[in-house]
């Protein structure tokens, strides 16, 4: 399935006009960045890069797409021929997937002919804005959980294809599992889940339902105990499964007090090893509020897949430089109003002091000469090659890329000052410095 029509119409009309003006092949550099973090956040976590590199490889205009574009008169013959021959052959550099980012971090740089690079704008932003919104929210939940495992189970709260992307982004941000089977198949993420309230309601008694589940899925299963009376359900659960019952799940009610009561009851019945998992409209704040309660794991739905109040990361895709007729690089930037930006191709270094991040240093490579200046700072290079002449760097792709991103996220978060993990509203935790 091609990704080529997951594109705003104006990308194609711009190509048409640029072919006419003779500017379509001007070597161009587009940059992806976010002017600010979501309101009150102290850092973001980049996700989607691996998925994007694969989607760019599938960005081809086949017969069916060209016929539709012609029939609808979106563009003319010359542009249709150009699109028929299209595949991205340029270079992409950027932050590693899983990387921490800050306002104006140059997250992705796409270099190619103008038309070749501009046509990817919609796809690039769709993937990165959504996945990064999820990962950035998920990272705060991971911090709030203080080491207790988290499962993503929000597939039903975002569109069916977004659900797979959300599971992947949450996993990269430190979640441990997902309920979504396609995310398990495509991205190798561990899947989890046992039963819903409907399963209990289907049976004539709660005991019948528990017995059916335990006989089928084993005593290590998780029994859902809040369909009727929780106290009665715990008693039934341990009677049916024995004290080796894996876990119980609570999906409603006043969790801090309920969890304590259920823990005490389980212990009194001898089920001291039975874990308690909670799944009731959790977000980073309610997770943090359960820090003092004997919860063993969390399942998070709506809030993680919708970015917990920030459902899009606010990244933009801006032309920052192009070559002129002499082949020299010209930095460009929109001037007007509140959306002014910084011209020129950039690279970035996270400045560290004693292993702790102190600044996001962004250097404009005005000459585009590919020779990084030696920076006289203690820091970690953030800009790495992701795609070269249209070929993606394999370590960022597929199941391996997803795992690598998860590991990279852990390392990048570990560099942050401890205050960055606070959940309260605040400013970006470290400053972005140009030059």
Q: Using CB under 8 A, which residues numbered 213 to 252 contact a second copy? A: 213, 215-217, 226-230, 251-252
Does residue 375 sit in helix, strand or coil?
coil
Q: How far is the CB of 209 from a second copy (least distance, A)?
A: 8
Q: How far is the CB of 99 from a second copy (least distance, A)?
A: 20
Neighbours of 205 (CB within 10 A): 11
Q: What are phi and psi of 57, to 5 degrees?
A: -65, -30
Q: How far is the CB of 204 from a second copy (least distance, A)?
A: 7
C-alpha distances in angstroms, 257 versus 247, 260, 264, 267?
18, 5, 11, 16
Q: Which of residues 22-61 bind a second copy (CB under 8 A)?
A: 23, 26, 28, 30, 55
C-alpha distances in angstroms, 84 versus 100, 105, 113, 137, 349?
38, 34, 16, 39, 39
Q: Which of residues 270-329 bind a second copy (CB under 8 A)?
A: 302, 305-307, 311-312, 314, 317-319, 322, 324
Q: Residue 257: exposed, middle, or buried by beta-carbon count in 10 A (0-12, 13-18, 19+)?
A: exposed
- Sign of the torsion formed by the C-alpha atoms of 216, 221, 225 and 231: positive
Q: How far is the CB of 419 from a second copy (least distance, A)?
A: 29
Does residue 201 sit in helix, strand or coil?
helix
C-alpha distances in angstroms, 22 versus 29, 78, 87, 322, 328?
17, 13, 20, 14, 17
Task: Give dist(CA 290, CA 275) in Å, integer.
Answer: 15
In the complex with a second copy, the residue whose CB is nearer, 280 or 432, is: 280
Binding of a second copy by 398 (CB under 8 A): no
Q: How far is the CB of 210 from a second copy (least distance, A)?
A: 10
Q: Which of residues 149-168 bind a second copy (CB under 8 A)?
A: 153, 155-165
Q: How far is the CB of 284 from a second copy (least distance, A)?
A: 16
In the complex with a second copy, the residue whose CB is nearer, 192 or 287, is: 192
Contact assessment for residue 319 and residue 27, using Cβ atoms and an 8 Å cutoff: no
In the complex with a second copy, the residue whose CB is nearer, 7 or 93, is: 7
Q: Which of residues 172-191 bind a second copy (CB under 8 A)?
A: 179-182, 184-185, 191
In the complex with a second copy, the residue whose CB is nearer, 23 or 260, is: 23
Binding of a second copy by 135 (CB under 8 A): no
Q: Which of 334, 353, 388, 422 binds a second copy (CB under 8 A)?
A: 334
Q: How far is the CB of 94 from a second copy (least distance, A)?
A: 17
Q: Supply the DSSP symbol for 424.
A: S
Q: Which of 54, 57, 148, 211 binds a second copy (CB under 8 A)?
A: 211
Contact assessment for residue 183 and residue 191, using Cβ atoms and an 8 Å cutoff: yes
In the complex with a second copy, the residue whose CB is nearer, 53 or 319, is: 319
Contact assessment for residue 359 and residue 430, using Cβ atoms and an 8 Å cutoff: yes
Q: How far is the CB of 399 from a second copy (least distance, A)?
A: 13
Q: How far is the CB of 10 from a second copy (least distance, A)?
A: 3
Q: Which of residues 337-356 bind a second copy (CB under 8 A)?
A: 337-339
In the complex with a second copy, the residue whose CB is nearer, 54 or 296, is: 54
- Sign of the torsion formed by the C-alpha atoms of 104, 40, 168 and 172: positive
Q: Which of 37, 173, 209, 290 binds a second copy (CB under 8 A)?
A: 209
In the complex with a second copy, the residue whose CB is nearer, 399 or 411, is: 399
Report residue 181 CA to chain centroid gap: 18
Binding of a second copy by 265 (CB under 8 A): no
Question: Which stretch of DSSP H or E encloses residue 68?
Answer: helix 63-71
- How many degrees, rounded to 5, is the angle at CA 362 between CA 404 and CA 369? 90
Q: Which of residues 84-123 bind a second copy (CB under 8 A)?
A: 114, 118, 121-123
CA torsion, points 157, 162, 168, 174, in degrees to nearest 10?
-40
Q: Which of 66, 74, 289, 293 binds a second copy (CB under 8 A)?
A: 74
Q: How far is the CB of 227 from a second copy (least distance, A)?
A: 5
Task: Give dist(CA 92, CA 4) in Å, integer.
Answer: 18
């Amino acid at each position: 399935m091609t990704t080529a029509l997951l594109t705003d119409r104006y990308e194609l009309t711009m190509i048409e006009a640029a072919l006419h003006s003779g500017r379509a092949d001007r070597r161009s550099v587009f940059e992806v960045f976010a002017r600010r973090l979501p309101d009150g956040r102290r850092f973001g976590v980049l996700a989607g890069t691996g998925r994007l590199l694969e989607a760019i490889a599938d960005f081809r205009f086949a017969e069916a797409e060209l016929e539709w574009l012609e029939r609808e008169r979106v563009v003319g013959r010359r542009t249709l021929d150009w699109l028929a021959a299209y595949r991205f052959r340029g270079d992409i550099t950027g932050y590693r997937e899983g990387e921490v980012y800050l306002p104006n971090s140059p997250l992705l740089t796409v270099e190619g002919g103008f038309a070749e690079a501009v046509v990817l704008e919609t796809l690039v932003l769709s993937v990165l804005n959504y996945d990064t919104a999820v990962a950035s929210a998920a990272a705060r939940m991971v911090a709030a959980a203080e080491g207790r495992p988290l499962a993503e189970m929000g597939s039903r709260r975002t569109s069916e294809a977004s659900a797979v992307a959300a599971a992947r982004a949450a996993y990269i941000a430190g979640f441990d599992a997902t309920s979504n089977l396609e995310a398990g198949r495509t991205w190798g993420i561990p899947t989890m889940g046992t039963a819903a309230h409907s399963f209990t309601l289907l049976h004539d008694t709660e005991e019948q339902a528990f017995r059916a589940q335990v006989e089928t899925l084993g005593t290590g299963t998780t029994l859902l105990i809040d369909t009727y009376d929780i106290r009665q359900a715990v008693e039934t659960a341990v009677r049916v499964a024995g004290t080796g019952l894996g876990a119980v799940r609570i999906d409603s009610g006043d969790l801090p007090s309920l969890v304590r009561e259920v823990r005490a009851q389980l212990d009194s019945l001898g089920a001291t090893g039975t874990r308690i998992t909670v799944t009731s409209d959790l977000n980073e704040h309610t997770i943090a509020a359960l820090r003092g309660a004997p919860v063993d794991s969390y399942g998070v739905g709506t809030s993680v897949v919708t970015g917990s109040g920030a459902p899009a990361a606010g990244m933009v895709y801006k032309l920052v430089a192009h070559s002129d007729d002499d082949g020299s690089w010209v930095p460009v930037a929109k001037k007007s109003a509140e959306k002014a930006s910084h011209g020129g191709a950039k690279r970035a270094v996270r400045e560290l002091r004693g292993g702790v991040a102190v600044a996001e240093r962004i250097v404009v490579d005005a000459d585009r000469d590919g020779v990084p200046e030696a920076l006289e700072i203690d820091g970690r290079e953030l800009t790495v090659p992701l795609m070269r002449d249209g070929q993606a760097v394999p370590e960022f792709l597929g199941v391996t890329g997803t795992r690598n991103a998860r590991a990279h996220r852990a390392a990048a978060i570990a560099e942050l000052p401890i205050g960055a993990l606070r959940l309260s509203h605040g400013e970006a935790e470290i400053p972005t410095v140009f030059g």
